[in-house]
Copies of this chain bind each other. A is one copy, B any other.
Amino acid sequence: MRADAARNLDAVLRTGARLLAEDPSTSIATIATEAGVDRRTVYRRFATREALLAAVSETKLDSSERVLDEARLTEAPVPVALHRYVEGIIPVSREWPVDTRRMILDHPTASVRREKLSRRLDVFMRRAADEGFLRTDLPTGWARAVLDDLVDSAAHRFPDLKPPQAADLVVDTLLTGTGRR
């Protein structure tokens, strides 16, 4: 692929992610224009609208997978892995603000990838519980749900927080809450 083509492709994917996050029904034409590219160029790369959505999702999944790998969720000590995961996933969530769940409802391979990532986090949270870092009197999956929420809030409702500070905040809140003791 030629350099300019790669640049355009990247612009389309990023712009698409941004606009589709704001409005999931954004037209291809709008995305193309905003990306500084003709509508036709998008269609040359992506046969259909679905293909574009899938490509955006897959790109986000690529980044997410890398973060999970580098966090070493199964080997590193729980607090270290947790902190590293959050610090890594927050920029990903900001660069690719789309909800991959809705985006690829009927796209088998991408959905499977998404599921696998989710499972890895579930396993990690179970390990955290087993090793005594989490309360055991809460519903299964609750801590995981809270983690997802905190990451999302830190990423998008507090866009000025740098990833390391955001990670501190998320981990601290997850473990000890926001109440004064």
Q: How far is the CB of A173 from chain B (nearest CB, A)?
A: 6
Does A108 sit within 8 A of B, measured CB to CB? Answer: no
Task: Tell yes or no: A138 within 8 A of B by CB.
Answer: yes
Interface string of A129-164 (1 = CB under 8 A from B): 000111110110111011001101100011001000
Chain A interface (Cβ < 8 Å from any Cβ of B): 23-25, 102, 132-136, 138-139, 141-143, 145-146, 149-150, 152-153, 157-158, 161, 169, 173-181
22 A-B contact pairs sorted by A residue (CB < 8 Å): A25-B25, A134-B179, A138-B169, A138-B173, A138-B178, A139-B158, A139-B169, A141-B157, A142-B153, A142-B173, A145-B158, A146-B149, A146-B150, A149-B149, A149-B152, A149-B153, A174-B178, A175-B179, A176-B177, A176-B181, A177-B177, A177-B178
Given contacts A146-B150, A176-B181, 9 further A-B contacts (CB under 8 A): A24-B24, A24-B25, A138-B173, A141-B157, A143-B178, A146-B173, A175-B177, A176-B176, A177-B178
